[in-house]
Chains A and B, each alone.
Chain A
């Protein structure tokens, strides 16, 4: 079991981490670093508030979901599309192991790509350790849910990148900002709550408890992974 899981994990790390993806996302992360630096130099009255709002808008609402989408949707979506999934599917490997390896690989690749520039930009704002802790925790919680969700999306639809961007910008960025009820259906609300709790800065639609802010993303991840496993069992393999 361990050998199979490790082999799948290594394979998916290698297939997801292309130069193009890495360059594009590191470029996006660099933008965050530059803005963090600019906030730090601007001598704002409340750097913690400015830094928290910046991490919320740029990090948790853009960089975390988009970067996770790029890697996670490709984890099983690319093999399904190009036909190489057959080499994994036609082996005596429980389907959940394939999904687990894909989710773990997506999270592994995404985490440094997202967290390193966000932590750098948080440091450069001069807001202190609370912002760094909130940034790491919020980004990690969001990534857990997004990784599984977008792995499932990659198996479910063609052009998962487009559907994922629609989810991120239309649903989470627009519909789920209407009120608290709608916000419950957006992963970023929970990540935002973790950030708000860590920094003590009040953010709109970020009033979930710490417990639920961690439990819900984990639950979303588990349900999405279970769906992906079911989908993998039943789908036609090209």
Chain B
């Protein structure tokens, strides 16, 4: 696994389908993506990062919706912003919720099929709606659909022309757990069929289910890439900060230091201490024992930096 941007990485198994080479994108003074390089092959790859990290901008560049300010993007060896024919091979589920509200699902997906130049747009649209488990005979406008149904319509229009590359920007946002599982299963099937599927998300647990390969982007930079399990381990192994509230924090602090489960302790007030540890699991197991041994009562044990933002900040700062 590589945890730093590196254009010299070997191509992923099956050959590179998506290639970003030193890609940057700025809007006026705002740098959205900064010198990002990676390759993505067939199968499912997750693009993970907090909101505002530059994921959507990166996906828009890969889909050809906007050119990079510097660097190069290649999809199946071609420039997606200039090569109109390449759109036959790319399916995109954009992040924005807006669709043509007055159309029914079938009309919307059939429009996509017609514009893709398919011979039988109606048949293709019905098949695509079937893939996402939507009833093609549902004769009411998309504006009346639930969030989950709209999301599936968007997926259907992206798949209607049977693309080799499927790019999905936060496709699970707003869905209930059952709908999430259905779509995750679908993405995995698409990957197993040999398509290149790139899915963005800001939810770590969601990404865990997509597949093993992950790109982590934060603050516009590629923070890590490689196997999800290795990245997860890296995230779990980072120094953690835990707040412990007790009636005798000094005794608890001494006990934790003696047990060797913390690398530093800071007493905040007469009820609170903050401990730094490299092994949060061991600390969680030990703190109750240490407190009992010191005759102290525990009120609260809270991780202070367990949110994704701090994980990404750590990865970027390494």
Residues of A within 8 A of B (CB): 3-4, 7-8, 11, 14-15, 82-84, 86-94, 236-238
Provide 17 A-B residue pairs closer than 8 Å at the C-beta atoms, listed in order of the A residue.
Answer: A3-B114, A7-B115, A11-B103, A11-B111, A14-B103, A15-B102, A83-B96, A87-B112, A90-B87, A90-B90, A90-B92, A91-B115, A92-B88, A93-B115, A237-B60, A237-B65, A238-B65
Across the interface, do A91 and B116 meet the contact criterion of CB distance under 8 Å? yes
Q: Which residue of B lies closest to A84 (CB)?
A: B98
Instruction: Render B100-114 as a binary contact track against A, CB cut-off 8 A, 1 for contact.
Output: 101100000001101
Across the interface, do A90 and B63 meet the contact criterion of CB distance under 8 Å? yes
> A residues within 8 A CB of B98?
82-84
Q: Contacts A11-B100, A84-B100: A4 and B114 contacting too (C-beta < 8 A)?
A: yes
Across the interface, do A87 and B99 meet the contact criterion of CB distance under 8 Å? yes
Within 8 A of A (CB), among B107-139: 111-112, 114-117, 121
- Could you tell me the distance between the alpha carbons of A8 and B66 in the complex, rounded to whole angstroms? 23
Q: Does B157 reach chain A (CB closer than 8 Å)?
A: yes
- Could you tell me the distance between the alpha carbons of A91 and B116 in the complex, rounded to whole angstroms? 6
> B residues within 8 A CB of A84?
98-100
Q: Contacts A11-B100, A87-B157, A237-B66: A92 and B112 contacting too (C-beta < 8 A)?
A: no
- Could you tell me the distance between the alpha carbons of A121 and B84 in the complex, rounded to whole angstroms? 48
**Inter-chain pairs besides A4-B117, A90-B65, A91-B87, 20 sampled, C-beta below 8 Å:** A4-B115, A7-B114, A8-B115, A14-B103, A15-B100, A15-B102, A83-B98, A86-B92, A86-B94, A86-B96, A87-B111, A87-B112, A89-B65, A90-B87, A91-B112, A92-B84, A92-B87, A92-B115, A94-B84, A237-B66
Residues of B within 8 A of A (CB): 60, 63-66, 84-85, 87-88, 90, 92, 94, 96, 98-100, 102-103, 111-112, 114-117, 121, 157
> B residues within 8 A CB of A83?
94, 96, 98
- Could you tell me the distance between the alpha carbons of A117 and B111 in the complex, rounded to whole angstroms? 34
Main secondary structure of the interface of A (DSSP, over half): helix
B102 nearest CB across to chain A (Å): 6
- Could you tell me the distance between the alpha carbons of A212 and B67 in the complex, rounded to whole angstroms? 42
Q: Which residue of B lies closest to A6 (CB)?
A: B114
Which 4 A-B residue pairings sit nearest by Cβ, starting from the closest? A91-B115, A83-B96, A237-B65, A236-B66
> B residues within 8 A CB of A89?
65
- Could you tell me the distance between the alpha carbons of A15 and B103 in the complex, rounded to whole angstroms? 10
Cβ 8 A contact of B102, one of A3, A7, A14, A237:
A14
B170 nearest CB across to chain A (Å): 14
- Could you tell me the distance between the alpha carbons of A94 and B112 in the complex, rounded to whole angstroms? 14
Q: Which residue of B lies closest to A17 (CB)?
A: B102
A84 nearest CB across to chain B (Å): 5
Across the interface, do B117 and A92 meet the contact criterion of CB distance under 8 Å? yes
- Could you tell me the distance between the alpha carbons of A87 and B160 in the complex, rounded to whole angstroms? 12
- Could you tell me the distance between the alpha carbons of A4 and B119 in the complex, rounded to whole angstroms? 12
Across the interface, do A238 and B116 meet the contact criterion of CB distance under 8 Å? no
Across the interface, do A86 and B65 meet the contact criterion of CB distance under 8 Å? yes
- Could you tell me the distance between the alpha carbons of A237 and B85 in the complex, rounded to whole angstroms? 17
Q: Which residue of B lies closest to A88 (CB)?
A: B115
> A residues within 8 A CB of B63?
90
Across the interface, do B87 and A238 meet the contact criterion of CB distance under 8 Å? no
- Could you tell me the distance between the alpha carbons of A14 and B117 in the complex, rounded to whole angstroms? 21
> B residues within 8 A CB of A4?
114-115, 117
> B residues within 8 A CB of A8?
115
Which of B64, B111, B157 has the largest count of A CB atoms less than 10 A from its CB?
A: B111
> A residues within 8 A CB of B90?
90
A5 nearest CB across to chain B (Å): 10
Which of B114, B117, B121 has the largest count of A CB atoms less than 10 A from its CB?
A: B114
> A residues within 8 A CB of B65?
86, 89-90, 236-238
- Could you tell me the distance between the alpha carbons of A82 and B157 in the complex, rounded to whole angstroms? 18
